């Protein structure tokens, strides 16, 4: 089969399409003929040499796919059949024509979503739902601040939070992207972080109140401002480190607000935890997709052989929603 490998750390030019042996599903695994794979920030970090796959995971990048079931390893008890249209959450291996994945991380595609577009869903839906709902316990009527409004995570997070009845504030780096967050995705508050400090802007547009929950993909660069932006009893959930790993924390401010900082990562979690998350996504998020409360957003698709061009486009930051590779 054909699969993408990273020849050495670097830019998109280090991504190589190779002919490699097809995977053999192990105990409890499902073999999937991949139709499409989603690009994620983690793939870029892996390409740059900053985010190696967890022990035992494939060196092939790619954390989410859609496709059709091609076979089963021993001990699969989940009720699938060969040919079923599915999506899968992976620890790696998605940029390929086939992938073997634990059955607990596989779901049938949601009603009303085509098979290619479905590849935009598993990683972002699992990340957003597990962090906003299962970890931060976001409630209807609370204010949530979403950073990176127009990326894959941001577009899903805004829609999911709105569907849950939260008041949504979102940050982006251009007036056009702020407009997309508010007019197209439904955010209540849009903040251009290149023109204004987001803690002050949030309070000015939110009746003087900060955020009950913040979903942050930036990390160290935003740490102080995020704590400043929290409301009393607020929960800051850090899920990305685009702005570095080490920052200065004012513990006094955190104590005064009785607030919490939580950091999570989805990729290295054990299969058992991913299975719980995927089942929760199926039960809570799939119905929102079926009835139109949430729409999967695909900015652009590229053939698997054009993976370098796909990464260049992703790196440009021009996309709104997901970038997909199609086999």
Output the CATH code of domain 125-263. Answer: 3.40.50.720
Which part of the chain has CATH 3.40.50.720? 125-263
Q: What is the pLDDT of residue 321?
A: 94
Residue with tokens 């939260």: 166
Q: 136 with 213: CB under 8 angstroms?
A: yes
Q: Which residues of the chain have pLDDT under 50?
A: none
Structure confidence by residue, pLDDT tens digits, 258-289: 999 999 999 999 999 999 999 999 999 999 99
Q: What is the pLDDT of residue 79?
A: 83
Residue with tokens 């899903």: 156
**What gap in Å lies between CA 178 and CA 172, rounded to an integer?**
6
* Neighbour count for residue 77 (Cβ, 10 Å): 9
Which sign, positive or negative, has the C-alpha torsion 133, 136, 137, 138? negative
Q: What is the pLDDT of residue 323?
A: 98
Contacts of 327 (CB under 8 A, 6+ apart): 2, 34, 35, 36, 37, 96, 97, 303, 304
Report residue 155 as tokens: 């577009």
Give the CA distances from residue 208 to residues 114, 116, 145, 211, in Å, rounded to whole numbers and listed in that order.
43, 43, 14, 10
Which part of the chain has CATH 3.90.180.10? 2-121+268-326
The predicted model scores a pTM of: 0.96
Q: What is the pLDDT of residue 77?
A: 81
Give the CA distances from residue 145 to residues 6, 63, 89, 246, 263, in Å, rounded to whole numbers and listed in that order.
35, 25, 26, 21, 16
Structure confidence by residue, pLDDT tens digits, 24-65: 999 999 999 999 999 999 999 999 999 999 999 999 999 999
Q: What is the pLDDT of residue 113?
A: 97
Q: What is the pLDDT of residue 21?
A: 96
- Fold of domain 2-121+268-326: Quinone Oxidoreductase; Chain A, domain 1 (3.90.180)
Give the rounded distance of the alpha carbon of 230 from its chain centre: 23
């Amino acid at each position: 089969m054909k699969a993408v490998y990273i020849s050495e750390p670097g830019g998109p030019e280090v991504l190589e399409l190779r002919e490699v042996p097809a995977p053999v599903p192990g105990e409890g695994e499902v073999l999937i003929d991949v139709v499409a794979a989603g690009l994620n920030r983690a793939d870029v970090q892996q390409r740059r040499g900053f985010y190696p796959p967890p022990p035992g995971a494939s060196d092939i990048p790619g954390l989410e796919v859609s496709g059709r079931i091609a076979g089963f390893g021993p001990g699969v008890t989940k009720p699938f059949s060969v040919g079923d249209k599915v999506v899968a959450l992976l620890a790696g291996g998605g940029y390929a024509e086939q992938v073997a994945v634990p059955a607990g991380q596989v779901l049938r595609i949601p009603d009303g979503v085509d098979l290619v577009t479905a590849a935009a869903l598993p990683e972002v839906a699992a990340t957003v739902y597990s962090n906003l709902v299962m970890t931060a316990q976001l409630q209807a009527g609370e204010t949530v601040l979403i950073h990176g409004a127009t990326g894959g995570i941001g577009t899903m997070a805004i829609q999911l939070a709105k569907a849950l009845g939260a008041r949504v504030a979102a940050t982006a780096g251009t007036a056009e992207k702020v407009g997309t967050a508010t007019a197209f995705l439904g955010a209540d508050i849009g903040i251009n972080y290149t023109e204004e400090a987001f803690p002050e802007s949030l309070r000015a547009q939110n009746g003087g109140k900060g955020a009950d929950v913040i979903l942050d993909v930036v990390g160290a660069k935003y740490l102080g401002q995020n704590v400043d932006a929290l409301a009393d009893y607020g929960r800051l959930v850090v899920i990305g480190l685009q702005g570095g790993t080490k920052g200065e924390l004012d513990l006094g401010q955190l104590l005064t607000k009785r607030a919490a900082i939580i950091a999570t990562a989805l990729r290295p979690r054990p299969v058992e935890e991913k299975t719980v998350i995927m089942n929760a996504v199926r039960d809570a998020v799939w119905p929102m997709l079926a009835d139109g409360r949430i729409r999967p957003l695909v900015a652009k698709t590229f053939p698997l052989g054009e993976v370098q061009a796909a990464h260049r486009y992703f790196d440009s930051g021009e996309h709104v929603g997901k970038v997909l590779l199609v086999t």
